[in-house]
Structure 1
């Protein structure tokens, strides 16, 4: 199934599955080349797929057992809001995050994080 044929919720789930598998290539395929990553109502922390790839390659090395569990998902039009519970690894740091994905052309064009 091509990315164009996926619903926004399926795009969000696909990238979450790839994130949990720490499959960097699969993960990045769900993001637009000009993706923007930002803190909700705040600073842009990443622009472009190369920066996103570098950020998550580093994170996957630093936290090889990192996983995000989907707590709740709301999808409306081309926007998907995921409440995720992140566990860095056995006995590691845990935290909750809200990831708000804006989907354009079957890919994530923007993600805003609230912690």
Structure 2
């Protein structure tokens, strides 16, 4: 499985709010951080719980891919996120580090 297909798979599952499919794309020891900051989340169970809450709070949430760059095992996505269909979106750069066929780390830049 290519690193791009791993990242695309999680984005598709995120947009479908399919938590079971979503978490299959991440490593058990996943680390999440804001870029150049200390991790704010560690572990797949915590990540699953965070997204269960997000999906419950925003049932129409979706992320639109603006652009993608793949360099080795790193995928950088520029995403536009909508919490509701009529909400003003916000911009995110998600930097995914893929190890094997799982996302091991995500660093976010949010605007």
TM-score bracket, normalised by the shorter chain, equals over 0.9
* 1:112 has 2:103 as partner: no
Q: Where in structure 1 do 4 or more consecutive aligned residues deviate above 4 Å?
A: none
- TM-score normalized with structure 2 length: 0.96
Task: Tell me the alpha carbon deviations over residues 87-106 of structure 1, each in whole angstroms, 9 at most, x when there is no partner.
Answer: 11122241000000000011
- TM-score normalized with structure 1 length: 0.93
Query: Number of residue pairs matched?
Result: 110
Alignment of 1:55-70 (within 5 A): 55-70=50-65
Identify the range of structure 1 (87-96 vs 37-46) with the bigger mean alpha-carbon deviation: 87-96
RMSD over equivalenced CA pairs, Å:
0.7
What is the rounded CA distance, in whole Å, between the counterparts of 1:10 and 1:105 in structure 2? Answer: 12
Flag structure 1 segments of 5+ consecutive residues without an equivalent.
Answer: 1-5
* Candidates 27, 45, 50, aligned match of 1:50: 45
Flag structure 2 segments of 5+ consecutive residues without an equivalent.
Answer: none
Partner of 1:85: 80
